[in-house]
Amino acid sequence: MTSTSFKHIGQRSIRPDGLDKVTGKARFGADYYLPGMLVGVVVRSPHPHATIKSIDTTAARAISGVKAVITAQDFPEISHEEAMSGESVVDFRDLSHNVMARDKVLYIGHPVAAIAATSQQAADAAAQALQVVYEIHPHVLNVDEAMASDAPILHSDLDPDGGEPTNIAKRHVFNRGDTKQGFARADVVIEREFTTKQVHQGYIEPHAVVADTGEDGRSVVWCSSQGHFLVRDQTAKVLGWERSRLKVIPAEIGGGFGGKTTIYLEPLAVLLSAKSGRPVKMVMSRDEVFMATGPGPGSRVRVKIGATSDGKITAAEVWMAFDAGAFKGSPVGAACQTVLAPYEIHDVSITGLDVVINTPKVAAYRAPGAPIGAFAAESVLDEIAEALSMDPIDLRYQNAVEEGSESTYGPTFKLIGFKETLEAIKEHPHYKATLGPNQGRGVACGFWFNAGLGSSATVSIHEDGTASVLTGSPDIGGSRASMALMAAEVLGIDETRIRPSIVDTDSIGFTDVTGGSRVTFATGMAVIEACGEIVEDLRGRAAMIWGAEPDDVEWQSGQAQHSDGSKPPLSLAEIAGSAAKTGGPIAATASLTARGVGPAFSTQVCDVEVDPDTGLVDILRYTTAQDAGRAIHPSYVEGQMQGGVVQGIGWALNEEYVYDDSGRMENPMFLDYRMPVASDLPMIDTVIVEVPNPGHPYGVRGVGEVGIVPPLAAIANAINGATDVRLRDLPMSPPRVVDALSSELNGATGTPAG
């Protein structure tokens, strides 16, 4: 199927939500107000690791205007229970203890109480008046400290090896072949060590919720999230409620990037509303977002790769330790699977450790774990290419996986487009452009699985021939436009006549999170299926009108056409206009678990200029090529590609959680937590590669995540091109670059593997 066979798919239609967003009319999480609404605040731990000896709420409750105070005592105790929640496994006990600390606090910002009052001032005063007595313990702030032999232990029940409790929650191992023999066949072997710091997803909109619990014990919740069904189900679990007691209404979302695939405020607001009998609104401040919601993990990674003189990789060993924050569950398992996935390597050993530390529990962040692994592996590959005097793309191409290749994590790849992305970059004018003084060029690649999961869609045809498409997938990247385009393609009507909406948990079938790059693929599949049912219905109604058999009716270009041409065509609007006479309302619903997921690959090239005096790295030019399978709406595919790159640039150059010795984050604001802004960046050029996914009716693969995987290494490799110095510790901020250049001048050669 080629793109020229589509009428609507591949068009750059105007996004249905665009006008409301540029005029300020769109309602985000904090934009909801109800009569009698209270202000809710969270009282948070000032200590990174302490036992709660007592909480006295008497003084807080006595303050005028305070209507409710909740602590751990108001939550049911939940035993350890791991279950699939969206793509990931969630331990509901840990989730509950992260929402509200029980006997211990495990990071600065850990909630210990929540208060609802008639004003912000009263709520803040009550928070100040709350008396909490702590017994303070030593803390650990990174994986090195946490794995030290004398480290304080956060949890008494983490012992992956069956011995004494440790801070290592889990050990992932992927071994295949014999790496010793593989390295023996190599002509060049390079082993390096890398570190990265915690980084935040950096969504502009803070977490916000309004909850209104009625006399009947049911609650309505308004919030922005990457999955309001997940919010409903996790909140119900934490509160011990039946799910039907909660209705969650999705607000527009001002960014999530994985960080809004869990709950923080929602159970607190529901409980405060239940206790006070009034609606409660809670909005995090920016420093609360930084100090209490999921960053991506920090890490230490060692990579060793061997290759023959003609560039064939013979073996690889990877060791990674990721911090999970206060509770187990870093994405190190995904990092193990993705770190070498673009390459065909038969002798491989990969170990990943999930390590708890006294910082906020990490949350998903765009291709969770993959950028960290790629930073290390793609940097080492670049060194191998350099050592072999090979073009870095040629080295990667020679080892690239393709259909039928066995992946390093086990399964065999189906049809994929990795080599096509390498070809796209090598043939791009960018790759041949001349560089100036202090300028360098770097390339890197990345892989992400993508996801399917559950989705629902309801499509209704109105009497005037327009249509509604309802889904349960929050739109974080323009997916409403893509839903309309796919519906338009099946129905054969213009997408401007279709209104796509995201509706609440009582108004559509269950739908998993907007994450895993899955919405256009999976929810789109539900839309296509529902529209297909509509078309069958329309054919039947046309047959009824004509006195023909349904098999005599074909659906083409939004019209029913008699197969022998004996009847004038009937448009969708004409059939819809007589719906009452032909069987009643025209609507269809599809709910499915989407199978046939197609993974994504990206290859990127970056030019930088490094100021040797200040260490400032200027991104001069950046081009990314990505296999989208099929670009339903090219503008939003390009937007996802560009967004991923930009977040990767921030991760590479400036972003990091800076903790002081007491465990307090020193930069919990965008002024000091330096994300790239438009003036820091060139236009990110995009090349959409389309190797259709055979598992989707239109060939869609997910596109949201893989774009963030290569930039960390691409930029590090470009800096090496400009300075002949390799940086292996993120971020590569001006002070670190200056230090590295100084070390090079003084004769040091980077960080050898330990």
* Smallest gap from residue 177 Cβ to another protein (A): 10
Whether 713 and 444 have beta carbons less than 8 Å apart is answered as: yes
Place of tokens 């790239």: 676
Q: Count the neighbouring beta carbons within 10 Å of the beta carbon of residue 749.
A: 9
Site string for another protein, 489-518 (x = CB under 8 A): ------------------------x-xxxx
Of 34-42, 330-338, 394-402, 498-506, the segment contacting another protein by CB under 8 A is 330-338
* Smallest gap from residue 199 Cβ to another protein (A): 12
Of 77-85, 116-124, 436-444, 654-662, the segment contacting another protein by CB under 8 A is 77-85
Kindly state whether residue 364 participates in binding another protein, applying the rule CB under 8 A: yes
Kindly state whether residue 447 participates in binding another protein, applying the rule CB under 8 A: no
Task: Report whether the peptide linkage leading into residue 437 is cis, meaning its omega lies within 30 degrees of zero.
Answer: no
Q: Give the DSSP letter string of 326-364.
A: TSS--THHHHHHHTTTTB--SSEEEEEEEEE-SSPPP--
Of 23-31, 86-94, 192-200, 276-284, the segment contacting another protein by CB under 8 A is 86-94
At 290 the three-state DSSP class reads helix
Type of residue numbered 192: R
Residue 519 DSSP label = I
Whether 286 and 203 have beta carbons less than 8 Å apart is answered as: no
CA–CA gap between residue 308 and residue 388 (Å, rounded): 9
The residues, ordered by sequence, that sit 6+ positions from 239 with a Cβ below 8 Å of its Cβ are 75, 76, 267, 270, 271
Whether 571 and 581 have beta carbons less than 8 Å apart is answered as: no
Of 12, 25, 53, 595, which one interacts with another protein (CB under 8 A)? 595
Give one word for 257, left, alpha or beta, with left for phi > 0 and alpha for psi -120 to 50: left
- 404 vs 682 by CB, closer to another protein: 404
Kindly state whether residue 643 participates in binding another protein, applying the rule CB under 8 A: no
Strand partners, 302: 193, 319
Of 261, 479, 520, 686, which one interacts with another protein (CB under 8 A)? 261
* Smallest gap from residue 270 Cβ to another protein (A): 24
* Smallest gap from residue 168 Cβ to another protein (A): 14
CA–CA gap between residue 677 and residue 668 (Å, rounded): 17
- 265 vs 453 by CB, closer to another protein: 453
Number of residues that bind another protein (CB under 8 A): 55
Residue 178 DSSP label = -
* Smallest gap from residue 629 Cβ to another protein (A): 14
Token duo for residue 650: 């921030």
Site string for another protein, 4-43 (x = CB under 8 A): ----------------------------------------
Place of tokens 């911090």: 323
Whether 222 and 256 have beta carbons less than 8 Å apart is answered as: no
Kindly state whether residue 340 participates in binding another protein, applying the rule CB under 8 A: no
How are beta strands 246-250 and 219-223 bridged, if at all? Answer: parallel
- 86 vs 699 by CB, closer to another protein: 86
Site string for another protein, 188-227 (x = CB under 8 A): -------------x--------------------------
Residue 443 DSSP label = E
Kindly state whether residue 453 participates in binding another protein, applying the rule CB under 8 A: yes
**φ, ψ of residue 513 in degrees (nearest 5):** -65, 160
Which residues 241-260 are close enough to bind another protein by CB under 8 A?
A: 256-259
Site string for another protein, 88-107 (x = CB under 8 A): xx------------------
Q: Which residues bind another protein (CB under 8 A)?
A: 82-84, 86-89, 171-176, 201, 256-259, 261, 329, 331, 333-334, 336-337, 364-368, 409-414, 448-454, 513, 515-518, 593, 595-597, 695, 704-705
